[in-house]
Copies of this chain bind each other. A is one copy, B any other.
């Protein structure tokens, strides 16, 4: 069936959706009432129109600047640097962080030909050094990149770049996840968790 096959073909291009899941979704849509398919199609079509990038931090937002950047309740001397816009949503969901954000738009990766100039690092330096008048100065940049080679490289680069201007550059702790098991931790994670051990 052409209509079904075409939909399945497009659905399998979405992340995490294989052919079987795509078929199940298509069958579900066939069974569901028309209004559901109608509103789903409407939302998919409208998404990119209503979601933009914040001109300050670079995260997804419907209003510019984004609610975080324009909030007076956030710690404005603290900036968390993340790889991509969705990382902001993930961190916000933890309700653990109350500072501002800066989306780098990727990680330094010489193998993939991505250098510092391809990322929003210049914008971060500008925010750190030349705060707007009346704005509290930035005292700390928390680098929240993933603990991978590229994430480590980017964090180190930011440290060398920003520390001379007197700002503290910190990194999220790496170690055994809560509820995890020593037995299943890989060697590198274990090594890092030893190096980062804390006093009880």
Contact = CB atoms under 8 A, between A and B. Distances in A.
Interface of A: 1-4, 6-7, 10-11, 13-17, 21, 23-30, 34, 36-51, 60-62, 85-86, 89
A27 B16 CA distance: 12
Contacts of A14: 24-25, 28-29
13 contacts: A1-B60, A3-B62, A6-B43, A10-B36, A10-B40, A16-B21, A16-B25, A17-B21, A37-B45, A40-B41, A40-B44, A41-B41, A41-B42
A14 to B, nearest CB: 5
Interface of A is mostly: helix
A51 B3 contact: yes
Nearest to A18: B16
A94 to B, nearest CB: 14
Contacts of A43: 3, 6-7, 10
Nearest to A8: B43
A37 B44 contact: yes
Contact of A40 (B2, B11, B30, B62): B11
A24 B16 contact: yes
A1 B61 contact: yes
A180 to B, nearest CB: 19
Most buried by B among A2, A16, A34, A38: A16
A162 to B, nearest CB: 28
B29 A25 contact: no
Contact of A26 (B11, B29, B47, B62): B47
Nearest to A42: B41
Nearest to A16: B21
